[in-house]
Amino acid sequence: MAAGVMPMAPRVLVVEDEEPLAVVLRYNLEAEGYEVAVAERGDDAEARISEAPPDLVLLDWMLPGLSGIELCRRLRARRDTKDMPIIMLTARGEEAERIRGLVTGADDYVVKPFSLPELMARVRSLLRRASPGMMTELLTAGDIEIDRVTHRVRRSGRELSLGPTEYRLLEFLMQSPGRVFSREQLLDGVWGREVYVEDRTVDVHVGRLRRALNRGAAADPIRTVRGSGYSFDEKF
Ligand code: CA
């Protein structure tokens, strides 16, 4: 668990029968500090939601057991789940169906293949709207403080100026202090899968982030792990 992220991790239920996608979603949601459960069937998801309602549902459209659209409709009809935040995951070609998804009551939808950073931003904003008290907006480590709403970064109280990619990189690394990320994992988590960028791009942006972060500061919180990648030092 990242230092100072959230008082209580919001729980996200991923309902997705494509296992590789479910794995990627779990990985990325956990990196954001959420507690994640995965269901591969619509009917299993319904049972699980009845037992322990999550704070947000990522719901695939086509599912065995019970379709995502039908599950969404049922959740909206129940008193205890009618306001539960739901993001539908739809495949391309289901465009007309998307409208039906929103009519059925989903709060948002994304079309596969989607950008992970964008999906994570939507999850965050929907959770913030649904349960404002649950989302901590400040992320701190040592003398570094970032505000996830305004994207302002301070070190020892002094405001730093970071580009959007450097901000996202810092936020991503700070969420999992001590964990080493390969360049490929950073590309997935920070840039998203669809964008084509080379491994070297990661090094360039880490360099920029370091320069902005460490100006006049004694310690460098970003560790280069030779042959592996980068991590945010827990005790810099
Ligand atoms: Ca599916």
Q: Which DSSP symbol is given to 84? A: -
Query: Ligand 1: distance of its center to the CA of 16 in Å?
Result: 6
CATH number of this structure's domain 138-232: 1.10.10.10
Query: Ligand 1: distance of its center to the CA of 48 in Å?
Result: 18
Query: Ligand 1: distance of its center to the CA of 125 in Å?
Result: 24
Q: Which of 154, 152, 136, 135 is nearest to 144 (CA)?
A: 154
Extents of the domains making up the chain: 11-133, 138-232
Query: Ligand 1: distance of its center to the CA of 114 in Å?
Result: 14
Query: Ligand 1: distance of its center to the CA of 91 in Å?
Result: 8
Residues 14/37, Cβ–Cβ less than 8 Å? yes
pTM tops 0.85, yes or no: no
Q: How far apart are CA 125 and CA 119, in angstroms?
A: 10
Peptide bond preceding 113 in cis form (omega within 30 of 0): yes
Overall size of the chain counted in residues: 236
* Matching fold, domains 11-133 and 138-232: no
Q: What is the pLDDT along the chain (236 residues), one digit of tens a residue?
A: 444 444 568 899 999 999 999 999 999 999 888 999 999 999 999 999 999 999 999 999 889 999 998 999 999 999 999 999 999 998 866 666 666 667 678 888 888 888 898 899 899 889 888 877 666 678 889 899 998 877 889 999 899 999 999 999 999 999 889 999 999 899 888 987 666 778 889 999 999 999 999 988 889 999 999 989 999 998 88
CATH number of this structure's domain 11-133: 3.40.50.2300
